[in-house]
Structure 1
Amino acid sequence: MNSYQPQDLAPDALPEVINRYLDAHRAHDTATALSTFHSHATVTDEGKTHRGAPAIETWLTRAAGEYTYTIELTGAQKVDTDHYIATHHLEGNFPGGVVDLRYRFALSDGLIQDLVIEP
């Protein structure tokens, strides 16, 4: 496989660490979500990059409380053994009210090294 030909997956076929993160994120369980990241990981969301565990913890806490929304996993793809995409449909009280977001995961040593969230 190469980065130009992602392979569709059943959402439950995503790596365990990604499913653990997604479940914890939906449940607003910051401690469990944070445990899925390398201590020096990065998260890019809304055009801002958060580096390292303290910054990611702050981002997770802020993201959990800023808006009320529903999130549904609508698709999953494997790019290669360390890169996956999880597509989510969100509806809520954020600007625009409805959005489909791609969560692009890069894994290393069984943990999330990088996460980029974008439309």
Structure 2
Amino acid sequence: MLPSTITTYLAQPALSLYADDAVVTDDGKTYRGRSEIASWLVTAASEYTYTTELVATRRIDANTWVAVNHLEGNFPGGTIDLQYTFTLEDNLITRLTIAP
């Protein structure tokens, strides 16, 4: 079972779920801190239209979980399974890596 921070994020990504010094890596780019992550969230949400379906989850260690989402939309290729690897501390995301 995923922690509520992650299930909330997967339903509706929000800056409030990130620690002040969080790091996000997506599509080969790294975003550090809330300011850069806020810009990334806006850009990522508006770049393409797509649907997501959670297809698998697993716990790596006490603070790290992986959620695999199947995406379908108008991005190049049209479908992809992405692994969202979350690291949490004090119920906030400190690191998120999104990769195929």
Q: Percent identity?
A: 51
- CA distance in structure 2 between the partners assigned to 1:23 and 1:70 by the alignment: 11
Shift of 1:53: 0.2
Q: Which runs of 5+ in 2 are unaligned?
A: none
Q: 2:75 aligns with which of 88, 94, 98?
A: 94
Q: Identify the residue that residue 50 of structure 2 maps to in structure 1.
A: 69
- CA distance in structure 1 between the partners assigned to 2:96 and 2:32 by the alignment: 11
- CA distance in structure 2 between the partners assigned to 1:87 and 1:20 by the alignment: 15
Shift of 1:108: 1.1
SS at the partner of 2:12?
Answer: helix
- 4+ long deviations beyond 6 Å: none
Establish whether residue 23 from structure 1 lines up as the match of residue 23 from structure 2: no
SS at the partner of 1:35?
Answer: helix
Q: Which runs of 5+ in 1 are unaligned?
A: 1-12, 26-32
Q: Identify the residue that residue 27 of structure 2 maps to in structure 1.
A: 46
| One-letter amino acid matched to 1:107 | L
- CA distance in structure 2 between the partners assigned to 1:36 and 1:19 by the alignment: 11
Instruction: Find the structure with the greater CA-based Rg.
Output: 1
What is the TM-score normalised by the length of structure 1?
A: 0.82
- Counting matched residue pairs gives 100
What is the TM-score normalised by the length of structure 2?
A: 0.97
- CA distance in structure 2 between the partners assigned to 1:65 and 1:73 by the alignment: 20
Q: CA RMSD in A?
A: 0.7
- CA distance in structure 1 between the partners assigned to 2:79 and 2:12 by the alignment: 22
- CA distance in structure 1 between the partners assigned to 2:42 and 2:23 by the alignment: 15
Shift of 1:63: 0.6
